[in-house]
């Protein structure tokens, strides 16, 4: 440990996470429990931060995962229309032919924009809820010239059924099978329409029968989310909340105050509903965060549980959003100084709050240590994500690295990292 993190401070984080899990159960995005947990964390932060704000925002949290059963129904409609379409050139035939393309096409677009790219595509179709962000600052002794923000999210996810049943071995076939099914049904309907919307004969019959054989995938993706269980979210992502809070607590308790560097702590709401809290925060504050040329960087932490899996994330939203490489370099240097290499994570289907900042032109990167349990003890987005599966060693090391990142940033800012990046190009 570079920053002498006491056992007491580690216990503060573990105890705080456990308390939130016990007192604020079922903290799904946009629930009263999520808002209550945020109010509780705000009060906690007021013990050591200089200023804490809490901001409510409107959202439609059911859209991010709720589009899945809708897309499955549209795919099923695509199969039905394929077979109902007589292909006789009549009005009904053309309506069925066109609808057979339009409905699965809409399903595919929802998958692309809502799930892969984290955009508010069909959000307006789902009920409105209120979620909230908490943001704390620890001020420098002098004028604010630069700012580094650490953050986690307070909401917890509905259990992913296949992740619980068989981890990635069950999850992957359902996701890939489901997605292929939607595109297959779209494909055969489109091909048939383009070929003149003919009757089902020969090859068209074979393609139609294959479509019927995909029905199990359609049923399987409908059951993707287990709405009966909201996980505790101890690691994902209260671990990150408390590490980010502890950065300020540690500085405060040791009487350290930088001269020109402000420390921020963002506890977002509704990350599991598609980064909605961090997006709302970045959208609202992008101008004041960078006003007067104050260099602002954000390191978003997620699921700090497995030291072996600790990595720097510089790309997310399924690879469609690029984060800031130089901020990643800063994090990597901090890791190295604390004795931990933090390799750049490869492509993965998902995102962290860093991408919400990147979407609004704010400099950020992700810092995750996602635990991959061997079967049968699946952990990520399952009921196993409880306080018993927290890893104090990983939490302490993550805090050490964050404190180091703050120290490096305070000492030299982003200029040397930017210069190094430029000379690399
Ligand atoms: Zn998560």
Boundaries of every domain in the chain: 7-61+127-157+231-424, 65-123+162-226
Distance (Å) from CA 246 to ligand 1 centroid? 21
Distance (Å) from CA 410 to ligand 1 centroid? 30
Closest to 84 measured CA to CA, from 98, 105, 73: 98
Q: What is the pTM of this model?
A: 0.93
Distance (Å) from CA 287 to ligand 1 centroid? 28
As a whole number, mean pLDDT of residues 248-272 equals: 97
Q: What's the confidence (pLDDT) of residue 309? A: 94
Distance (Å) from CA 12 to ligand 1 centroid? 23
3-state secondary structure the chain: CCCCCCHHHHHHHHHHHHHHHHHCCCCCCCCHHHHHHHHHHHHHHCCCCCEEEEEEEEECCHHHHHHHHHHHHHHHHHHHHHHHCCCCCCHHHHHHHHHHHHHHHHHHHHHHHHHHCCCCCCHHHCCCEEEEEEEEEECCCCCCCEEEEEEEECCCCEEEHHHHHHHHHHHHHHHHHHHHHHHHHHHHHHHHHHCCCCCCCCHHHHHHHHHHHCHHHHHHHHCCEEEEEECCCHHHHHHHHHHHHHHHHHHHHCCCCCCCEEEEEEEECCHHHCCHHHHHHHHHHHHHHHHHHCEEEEEEEEEECCHHHEEEECEECCCCEECCHHHHHHHHHHHHHCCCCCCECCCCCCCCHHHHHHHCCCEEEEEEECCCCCCCCCCCCCCCCCHHHCCHHHHHHHHHHHHHHHHHHHHHCCHHHHHHHHHHC
pLDDT-derived band at 350 (thresholds 50, 70, 90) equals: confident
**Mean pLDDT computed over every residue of the chain:** 95
CB neighbours of 418 closer than 8 A, spacing ≥ 6? 326
- What is the C-alpha to C-alpha distance for residues 391 and 396, in angstroms, rounded to an integer? 9
Q: What's the confidence (pLDDT) of residue 62? A: 92
Phi-psi region of 26 (alpha: psi -120 to 50; beta: other; left: phi over 0): left
Q: Is the pLDDT of residue 387 over 90?
A: yes
Q: What's the confidence (pLDDT) of residue 425? A: 66
∠ CA(225), CA(226), CA(227), 5° rounding? 100
Distance (Å) from CA 237 to ligand 1 centroid? 7
Distance (Å) from CA 119 to ligand 1 centroid? 17
pLDDT-derived band at 423 (thresholds 50, 70, 90) equals: confident
Distance (Å) from CA 19 to ligand 1 centroid? 19
Closest to 276 measured CA to CA, from 64, 425, 81, 418: 64
Q: What's the confidence (pLDDT) of residue 55? A: 98
What the block records as the tokens of 308 is: 């072996």
Distance (Å) from CA 371 to ligand 1 centroid? 12
Beta strand 261-268 with 146-153 is: parallel
Distance (Å) from CA 398 to ligand 1 centroid? 18
Distance (Å) from CA 96 to ligand 1 centroid? 40
Distance (Å) from CA 148 to ligand 1 centroid? 23
Distance (Å) from CA 21 to ligand 1 centroid? 15
Distance (Å) from CA 310 to ligand 1 centroid? 16
As a whole number, mean pLDDT of residues 56-62 equals: 96
Closest to 341 measured CA to CA, from 372, 308, 300, 306: 308
pLDDT digits (tens, 9 = 90+) for 64-117: 888 999 999 999 999 999 999 999 999 999 999 999 999 999 999 999 998 888
Distance (Å) from CA 156 to ligand 1 centroid? 7
Q: What's the confidence (pLDDT) of residue 338? A: 97
Q: What's the confidence (pLDDT) of residue 114? A: 86
Phi-psi region of 128 (alpha: psi -120 to 50; beta: other; left: phi over 0): beta
Do 140 and 259 touch, CB atoms closer than 8 A? yes
Beta strand 146-153 with 295-304 is: parallel
Q: Among 37-46, 61-70, 332-341, which stretch is predicted with the lowest mean pLDDT?
A: 61-70
In percent, the amount of the chain with pLDDT more than 90 equals 89
As a whole number, mean pLDDT of residues 196-207 equals: 95
As a whole number, mean pLDDT of residues 286-293 equals: 94
- What is the C-alpha to C-alpha distance for residues 280 and 389, in angstroms, rounded to an integer? 31
As a whole number, mean pLDDT of residues 234-251 equals: 98
Distance (Å) from CA 189 to ligand 1 centroid? 36
Q: 7-61+127-157+231-424, what's its fold?
A: Aminopeptidase (3.40.630)
As a whole number, mean pLDDT of residues 375-389 equals: 89
Distance (Å) from CA 350 to ligand 1 centroid? 9
Beta strand 363-369 with 295-304 is: parallel
Looking at beta carbons, which pairs linking 376-381 to residues 24 or more positions away fall under 8 Å?
376/166, 376/167, 378/163, 378/164, 378/166, 378/167, 379/235, 379/305, 380/160, 380/163, 380/236, 380/303, 381/157, 381/159, 381/160, 381/163, 381/231, 381/236
């Amino acid at each position: 440990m570079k920053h002498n993190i006491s056992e007491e401070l580690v216990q503060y984080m573990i105890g705080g996470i456990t308390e939130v899990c016990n007192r604020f159960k079922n903290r799904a995005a946009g629930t009263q429990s999520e808002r209550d947990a945020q109010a509780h964390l705000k009060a906690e932060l007021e013990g050591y931060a200089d200023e804490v704000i809490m901001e409510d925002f409107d959202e439609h949290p059911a859209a991010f995962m709720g589009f899945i059963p809708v897309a499955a129904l549209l795919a099923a409609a695509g199969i039905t229309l394929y077979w109902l379409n007589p292909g006789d050139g009549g009005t009904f035939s053309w309506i069925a032919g066109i609808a057979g393309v339009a409905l699965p096409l809409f399903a595919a677009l929802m998958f692309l924009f809502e799930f892969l790219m984290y955009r508010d595509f069909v959000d307006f179709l789902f009920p409105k809820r209120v979620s909230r962000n908490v943001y704390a600052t620890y001020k420098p002794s002098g004028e604010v010239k630069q700012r580094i923000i650490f953050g986690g999210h307070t909401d917890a996810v509905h259990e992913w059924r296949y992740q619980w049943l068989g981890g990635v071995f069950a999850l992957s076939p359902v996701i890939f099978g489901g997605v292929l099914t939607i595109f297959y049904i779209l494909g055969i309907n489109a091909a048939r329409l383009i070929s003149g919307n003919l009757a089902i004969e020969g090859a068209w019959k074979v393609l139609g029968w294959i479509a019927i054989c995909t029905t199990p995938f359609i049923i399987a993706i409908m059951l993707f989310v287990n709405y009966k269980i909201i996980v505790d979210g101890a690691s994902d992502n209260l671990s990150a909340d408390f590490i980010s809070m502890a950065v300020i607590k540690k500085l405060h308790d040791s009487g350290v105050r930088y001269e020109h560097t402000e420390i921020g702590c963002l506890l977002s709401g509704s990350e599991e509903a598609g980064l909605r809290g961090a997006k709302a925060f970045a959208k609202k504050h992008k101008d004041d965060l960078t006003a007067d040329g104050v260099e602002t960087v954000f390191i978003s932490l997620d699921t700090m549980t497995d030291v072996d899996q600790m990595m720097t994330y510089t790309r997310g939203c399924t690879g469609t959003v690029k984060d800031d490489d130089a901020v990643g370099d800063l994090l990597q240097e901090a890791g190295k100084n604390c004795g931990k290499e933090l390799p750049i994570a490869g492509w993965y289907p998902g995102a962290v709050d860093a991408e919400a900042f990147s979407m609004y032109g704010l400099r950020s990167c992700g810092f995750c240590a996602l635990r991959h349990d061997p079967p049968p003890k699946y952990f990520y987005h399952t009921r196993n994500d409880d306080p018993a599966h927290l890893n104090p060693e990983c939490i302490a090391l993550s805090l050490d690295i964050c404190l180091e990142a703050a120290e490096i940033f305070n000492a030299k800012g982003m200029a040397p990292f930017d210069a190094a990046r430029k000379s690399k190009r």
